[in-house]
Structure 1
Amino acid sequence: MLHGRYTAVTHPRIFPATMDTMTNLVSSLSVQARTWRWPQVGLNLLILTLWLWLYLPIFSYLHIIFRREDFRLNQIVLVAVLALIGLQMRRGDVRPQPDAAPVFRRLPLVLVLGGSVAYLLVERFLDVNTVAASLFAFASYGLLGLWLSPERWRKGLPVVLLLIGVLPFGEHLQTFVGYPMRILTAELVRQGLTAVGVHSIGVDTILIFENGVSQVDLPCSGVKSLWTGMLFLLAATWVEARPLNRRWFLVLLLFIPLLFIANFARVAILVLVGQVMGWTLLAEMLHVPLGVLGFVVVCGTAVLLLRSGDGEIQRLPDLPISPSSRWPSPHLSFFLIAAILIMILLYAPRPQTSVTGMPPTWEFPAALHVEPLPLKPEETEWLLIDGASGVERFSFQRGDISGNMILITSKTWRAHHRPERCFEVYGLTLESSLPHLVSADFPLRFVTLGAEKQRPLYAATYWFQSANRTTDDYGARIWADLALEREPWVLVSILFDGPINPQDDDARQLYLALHEAVNNYLK
């Protein structure tokens, strides 16, 4: 053995071969290192640095999403999407090339410039973080398209839509889509029950009953099924390697109504079982299985529709790039650097309101006994970070009516919210949330609440008020921020110590007194 090992090392034929192999390996590595175009690497790093600098304000918003507990579902979906991206990249053998030069391609460059200009406009005039983050994703994907082949870039579009879909659109969907969708569903269920001879069930009854037995935060129920379903459809499109062509949009146009029909069937069955037949416990047991079953059936149908086009061309060929349609790579790199620098200099966020001096003090009528009820430091900090210029909480007593109220003053809608969410966070179930008109120009929202399975119920009220307008609609409050000159608004949110009748004169006088106090505060 020793002799054989000695021979293997000193044999005149083997030793030179081993040395030649090592020499060739080192030589190839040296050549590979020398073939790296280091100036282009530097240009690419500069482009990336400037790009991140331009979109730096977005990262503070993304940090909030990844940190706050109320975005837990978004965080879980993001982890799943990133895991799917990593798996697909590993299967596709995607390897970055830091020294690759950008290549002029029309559509990616339009996304880079158009998305970035739109981002500047949104930051200056709209100030909606979700929209700005979506534009960042689209523009970044356009920038990536200057390095990717056209085929790979087009096939990766569902990934970008998936990442954008992870953003918390839920509040906006609930504001602009959720409530109208619930009203439409309840009206259709009422008409269906009327058609079969059940005439005693109204829309309000259906809404209240659905709130009582359903978990509106389930991804498979209500408006969230649209969000979750769209994410599923995009993921299936990517995994199945389907192009976003006309056929795909036809599948989408069929998919959305199917989700609505599934939700309609769920609500109809729950109302029929729980409200008409009186089997409330059975309805509570059925609402989760019904939501999941309907969602799974619709998603399975979407997958079958996507796969039904197997005979079509699925792999799109690379688009040829003629010499006249591409810029020299160094020129394109310098153009990108100059364009991003110009946009950095043009970036001007919408002026934020700053509190100068001490804010005005609240003055309440003598008939209303008010005591300060300070918030926790973390609660105040959370509201101030979102742009509130004043946050006050009080306990109050007026005759037989007592409770506590919070008054949030801000020139940005982000510091305001729909109080129903806060009530539900503290363990109160939402029984009803209905508009109530105190006077011709004073609408408010009257909310009926209750701890689960307990009585008596609680009552709550809220409205949004500026110097010239009062509304109970959170969507109207958001749209008010589109004005070139923002005005301060106050969210008045009241939680009573027990149930009240909003039609009582005592309640009406309380509303009018607080409305006048807010008017005086805003003068």
Structure 2
Amino acid sequence: MMMQASLTEQCISTSCQQVEQQLVETPLVAAVRWNAAFILSQLLVAISLIYLFKPTLLWVWGQIQTAENSFHIIGVGLLVGLVIHSVVAKKRQLTLSFQIKKLPLVVFTVGCLIFLLNERLTGIHIFSATLMLITLYGFLGFYVKATSWAKAFLPFALLILLLPFEGYLDIYLGFPLRLFSAEMAKHFLSSFGVSALTSESVILVENKAAIVDLSCSGLKGLWAGLIFYIFLTWIESNKLSLSWLIGLVLFICCLVGFNIFRIISLVALDLVLNLPQLANYAHTMLGVLGFVFSCLFGWLLMRLQSGNIQISPKQESMNTNPPNLSLISKGLIKNDCYSLALILIIITGSIFLYEPLPKQQSMANKKIELPVDFNGKEVAFLPIEENFFKSNSANAVKYQFEWSGYQGSLIFVYSHYWKSQHDPRNCYFSQNITVDYEKTLSLSAEYDSKPVEIKYLHLNGGQNSGFYWFQSPTKKTADYSSRVFSGWLTPSEPWVMVSVAWEGELSALATEKFVGQVYSHIKSQF
């Protein structure tokens, strides 16, 4: 009996082990286990991406919240609405399934690397935001079909262009464009016997100067033109090909070429023919005509290209097949987990390698005092000013003063770190002070062999005025873009930002006298 009971227990034990082994090796159990790991991996990837791009996301959110960017919010909303309408109207089925693909992996990896380099070497937020969107576009390619990913390129490009970045574009892209335009205009005028010289974005003809400023850079026309060309490609359903790229290059050349023609015409009217009033009338008219003609040229190039995207029968059959429902298979989910682990390694490595541009310390104990004959005192900064200067390690001081019967306030910012200084117009915008119009003045006087440029601002309907410039031991400019590029090329050179706000307006003679006095005073401090 005991022997029989022992055999029975042994049989039961063996049967339990077999059942347990079968249960463990059941494909459904294995699939559930790998599916849980797959979902967890996706959550980790999403959290890691948010953590990597957190500073950039916060910056973009801050830009969107400003009142002047409401147009961009509307534009992005319309773009999203068009995408949704396109999906619904064509009854497209969006099936999301994760799979590593070569081209999206290249876009994703290169986007991460360039993002890290930009954060470390330049710290330019607009480039970081653009690279973030490019990286996310590559990440999207892991979840959608190759054809859908390719079609998403145009909406993504429009999204980048519709973000509120054009105010920053003149600083980083508009300045080189203005230098190029001024140089081309000089060569063209010289070929017709007009003796012309250029100093950065200033064209000099017989001791008279023309400033190639933001309104003449052609950057806004180029920005609007790119939106037009990409949007036209999208609604015309043109395929992205070499001919499309050649058309885009020709379209950009047309925009830039017309802008150079406008600059040449304005310089010829103003400085050569002495017709400044006619030049003022022609300024806007030539800009509009050039943009309209360029858009017509771009539309013609688009019509010359091939028509709608043709899908081969093989591709069409692949697109119309129902989604693969075999995700519960152990092998596929297991491979997806390994692929997600690779993406997670790339993102985690980027997080550990992430190092933003270090804030250079301001020059200790270096403070620009008012000239001795100025009747003034040092005052506290407004909270918004103090936060900016503190966050960028700036050595800044603010005075209220009286000079020759005029009352005003003055800010000196002494630093070799270009981010410690800023475009003073942003201060007025942030304080709801209206900038009615602005102009660049080139002042020539005995205190320097070369003219000194200042940016003059007409504020609050004439109740106030202001001007500013940037000054180093070797250079002087009213162009913040020039200051930024100099900071990249010669990071050890000290600069002083001078920003003055007045109650009322100064006469031309008083402006020249004040600028000369302050300029000479700062020059003696280096």
- Partners of 2:115 and 2:132 within 8 A in 1: yes
1:301 alignment partner AA: F
**Whole-angstrom CA distance in 2 between matches of 1:306 and 1:173:** 28
Q: 1:249-305 deviations in whole A, cap 9, x for unaligned?
A: 221122123223544666688899999797959965x86676445433422331232
Q: 1:143-166 deviations in whole A, cap 9, x for unaligned?
A: 111222222222222222222223
1:86 paired residue number: 84
**Whole-angstrom CA distance in 2 between matches of 1:266 and 1:506:** 34
Query: Does structure 1 residue 306 correspond to structure 2 residue 302?
Result: yes
- Partners of 1:388 and 1:411 within 8 A in 2: no
**Cα distance change on mapping 1:114 and 1:245 into 2, 3 Å:** same
2:121 alignment partner AA: F
Match of 1:256 among 225, 228, 252: 252
Query: Does structure 1 residue 173 correspond to structure 2 residue 170?
Result: yes
Deviation at 1:510, TM superposition (A): 3.1
**Cα distance change on mapping 1:109 and 1:82 into 2, 3 Å:** same
2:496 paired residue number: 490
Match of 1:366 among 365, 368, 372: 372
2:345 paired residue number: 338
**Whole-angstrom CA distance in 2 between matches of 1:191 and 1:73:** 42
**Whole-angstrom CA distance in 2 between matches of 1:423 and 1:158:** 36
1:508 paired residue number: 516
**Whole-angstrom CA distance in 2 between matches of 1:350 and 1:265:** 39
Deviation at 1:422, TM superposition (A): 6.4
1:127 is paired with a residue of what secondary structure?
coil
Deviation at 1:459, TM superposition (A): 7.5
Match of 2:359 among 352, 359, 371: 352
2:454 paired residue number: 446
**Cα distance change on mapping 1:374 and 1:113 into 2, 3 Å:** same
Q: 1:13-64 deviations in whole A, cap 9, x for unaligned?
A: xxxxxxxxxxxxxxxxxxxxx9x95543333222222112111111111012
2:399 is paired with a residue of what secondary structure?
strand
2:387 alignment partner AA: E
**Whole-angstrom CA distance in 1 between matches of 2:62 and 2:55:** 12
Match of 2:232 among 236, 252, 256: 236
**Cα distance change on mapping 1:379 and 1:331 into 2, 3 Å:** same
**Whole-angstrom CA distance in 2 between matches of 1:82 and 1:409:** 45
Deviation at 1:230, TM superposition (A): 0.8
Correspondence 1:466-485 to 2 at 5 A: 470-472=475-477, 474-482=480-488
Deviation at 1:240, TM superposition (A): 2.1
2:398 paired residue number: 393
1:157 alignment partner AA: F
**Cα distance change on mapping 1:419 and 1:435 into 2, 3 Å:** farther
- TM-score, normalised with respect to structure 2: 0.70
Moved more, 255-264 or 359-368: 359-368
- Partners of 1:266 and 1:290 within 8 A in 2: yes
Moved more, 263-272 or 171-180: 263-272
- Partners of 2:470 and 2:483 within 8 A in 1: no
**Cα distance change on mapping 1:339 and 1:318 into 2, 3 Å:** farther
Unaligned runs of at least 5 residues, structure 2: 1-31, 195-203, 319-333
1:413 paired residue number: 418
2:12 paired residue number: none
Moved more, 60-69 or 304-313: 304-313
**Cα distance change on mapping 1:204 and 1:495 into 2, 3 Å:** farther
1:17 paired residue number: none
- Partners of 1:390 and 1:409 within 8 A in 2: yes
**Cα distance change on mapping 1:342 and 1:419 into 2, 3 Å:** closer
2:137 alignment partner AA: Y
**Cα distance change on mapping 1:449 and 1:91 into 2, 3 Å:** same
**Cα distance change on mapping 1:154 and 1:464 into 2, 3 Å:** farther
Deviation at 1:114, TM superposition (A): 1.7
- Partners of 1:405 and 1:492 within 8 A in 2: yes
**Cα distance change on mapping 1:477 and 1:288 into 2, 3 Å:** closer
**Cα distance change on mapping 1:265 and 1:365 into 2, 3 Å:** closer
1:9 paired residue number: none
2:157 paired residue number: 161
**Whole-angstrom CA distance in 2 between matches of 1:458 and 1:498:** 8
**Cα distance change on mapping 1:277 and 1:118 into 2, 3 Å:** closer
1:404 paired residue number: 409
**Whole-angstrom CA distance in 1 between matches of 2:347 and 2:156:** 21
- TM-score, normalised with respect to structure 1: 0.70
Match of 2:382 among 376, 384, 387: 376
2:394 is paired with a residue of what secondary structure?
strand
**Cα distance change on mapping 1:271 and 1:494 into 2, 3 Å:** same
2:377 alignment partner AA: E
**Whole-angstrom CA distance in 1 between matches of 2:408 and 2:72:** 35
1:126 alignment partner AA: T
- Partners of 1:428 and 1:451 within 8 A in 2: yes
2:141 paired residue number: 145
2:170 alignment partner AA: L
Unaligned runs of at least 5 residues, structure 1: 1-33, 196-200, 321-326
Correspondence 1:13-92 to 2 at 5 A: 37=35, 39-92=37-90
Q: Cα RMSD (Å) of the superposition?
A: 4.8
Deviation at 1:247, TM superposition (A): 0.6
**Whole-angstrom CA distance in 2 between matches of 1:451 and 1:64:** 25
2:411 alignment partner AA: I
**Cα distance change on mapping 1:188 and 1:232 into 2, 3 Å:** farther
**Whole-angstrom CA distance in 1 between matches of 2:421 and 2:266:** 33
- Partners of 1:190 and 1:202 within 8 A in 2: no
How many residues get paired? 459
Q: 1:103-138 deviations in whole A, cap 9, x for unaligned?
A: 232121112112112212222222111111111111
1:123 alignment partner AA: E
1:143 alignment partner AA: F
**Whole-angstrom CA distance in 1 between matches of 2:81 and 2:415:** 40
**Whole-angstrom CA distance in 1 between matches of 2:45 and 2:287:** 47
**Whole-angstrom CA distance in 1 between matches of 2:453 and 2:308:** 53
Match of 2:438 among 415, 419, 430: 430
**Whole-angstrom CA distance in 2 between matches of 1:436 and 1:422:** 28
1:119 alignment partner AA: F
2:5 paired residue number: none
- Partners of 1:182 and 1:207 within 8 A in 2: no
Deviation at 1:237, TM superposition (A): 1.7
**Whole-angstrom CA distance in 2 between matches of 1:437 and 1:71:** 41
Query: Does structure 1 residue 463 correspond to structure 2 residue 453?
Result: no
Query: Does structure 1 residue 183 correspond to structure 2 residue 189?
Result: no
- Partners of 2:259 and 2:290 within 8 A in 1: yes
